[in-house]
Amino acid sequence: MSSKTSYGLTFYLNRTKEKKNGDCPVMLRININGQRVVLQTKRYLKSQDWDPHRYQMKGRTTEARVFNEYLEALRIKAHKKYNELLTLHDDVSPQMLRDAILGINSAKAKMIIEVWEDYIENLRKLIGKENTYTTYQKYRAAKNHFAAFLLKYYRTSDVSIKAIDYHMIQQFNLYLKTEKGCNFNTATKFLQNLKRITCVCIKNGWLLKDPFASISLTLKEVDRPYLTQEELNKLLEFNSPYERLNRVCDFFIFSCYTGLAYIDVKKLKRLEIEGSEDYGYWIRTRRQKTGGRANIPILPMAKVVLDKYVKLDLLFPNDPVLPILSNQKMNAYLKEIADLCGITKQLSYHIARHTFATTVTMMNGVPIESVSKMLGHKNITSTQHYARIVDEKVGSDMKILAEKLSQQLPASMYVTN
């Protein structure tokens, strides 16, 4: 017990609840760190029979001895329950001790998987309102990994939240990287999910110390592959005898010129496209992944794809815009298209979004603030990853330029000793 903890039990006669026959209920007051609750002992005495100094029944009669032994037994039970709670919780409240004495389960230790499942269920209920299905899936996957970890290394399906410490977190991190084959960032994201659950426990008063206090969960910077203008031109010129490949290439190009991720193209509805042929069209939607608002003018290349597969004026507001294939098939066919076009990069649908951010927009002078809004980023930090790629390209181009200019310098410009 901490030296700062104050704990006390006091029996008293509640004279304000006196019955018609003069009996008053004997109460137990529980005081912990300035907080207090009262508990009925289910025993009654008349005022003249209560000793307010010794907190018990007056006299040496058999009745008094039995009465006082009951109160002492209740005091001992309260002490025992209090010590049990201290082994399970960082902080014990008077309400928890009262519930433990009464045998109510609310005083039992909070378990991490149980809290996690409650959190996930709340996420599920708020899908489409405050969060996305993707967020729900990520927390569920992280919970399943942690449950499997507990079962394998601790031979249990759940542990008290108080058991989550630095050692367990590091062991879970190792488990993710070795046995589950997660890379650094993926493992870190799963740990971030676990930290979120421990934060919930701290806010609810179930956990006092942050087990992640000395653990860094910073993600590593990763390369974001994108297509150069030369590679993009190869796709624009692609024409196959197989309609499935032409279709996949067209949808990929649509995302290269809109910046929409696969799921955002799949869910895109007619009501999310505004404008007209005379004044141009805009896509105004919310990203499935983050819920961020994306406002994107439909560039000519993207409009060509739309016109090829759909007539916007004939669609109802909730009709899907493009008949896109499954993500799995799209990625499989994109690899085939890359081989046919001589593109050596591992082509996947998400590269289209990166290509929009770099080759299509920033490398053509579109300000980063505008690109951020079109991508639906909630803050510009996410967009700055692409800006660094563009800076590298500028640096590379300037190096080539410097070499060309140096060849044009007349000999008289060079200093000789």
Domain 229-400: give its CATH code: 1.10.443.10
- How far apart CA 253 and CA 247 sit, in angstroms, is 10
pLDDT of residue 365: 82
pLDDT of residue 397: 66
- How far apart CA 47 and CA 114 sit, in angstroms, is 48
| HEC assignment per residue over 319-351 | CECCCCCCHHHHHHHHHHHHHHHCCCCCCCCCH
Neighbours of 46 (CB within 10 A): 13
Measure Cα distances from 276 to 72, 273, 280, 282, 294 in Å. 85, 9, 5, 9, 19
pLDDT of residue 51: 94
Domain locations in the chain as residue ranges: 7-104, 112-203, 229-400
| HEC assignment per residue over 14-31 | CHHHCCCCCEEEEEEEEE
- How far apart CA 83 and CA 22 sit, in angstroms, is 37
The answer to whether 197 and 112 are in contact (CB under 8 A) is: yes
Question: Nearest to residue 52, comparing CAs of 82, 11, 89?
Answer: 11
* The two structure tokens encoding residue 203: 């806010």
SS3 content of the chain, % helix, strand, coil (to 5): 55, 15, 30
pLDDT of residue 372: 86
Q: In whole angstroms, what separates CA 196 from the centre of its chain?
A: 7
- How far apart CA 212 and CA 165 sit, in angstroms, is 8
pLDDT of residue 393: 62
pLDDT of residue 2: 43
51 φ, ψ (degrees, to nearest 5)? -95, 105
Q: Where are the alpha helices (DSSP H) in 89-132?
A: 94-102, 112-125
The answer to whether 306 and 298 are in contact (CB under 8 A) is: yes
The answer to whether 217 and 192 are in contact (CB under 8 A) is: yes
Question: Nearest to residue 166, comparing CAs of 209, 203, 218, 215?
Answer: 215
| Residues contacting residue 292 through CB under 8 Å, at least 6 positions apart | 286, 376, 377, 378
Number of H helices, E strands in the chain: 14, 8
* Residue ranges in the chain modelled with pLDDT below 50: 1-3, 107
* Sign of the four-CA dihedral 399, 403, 408, 414: positive
| Residues contacting residue 83 through CB under 8 Å, at least 6 positions apart | none
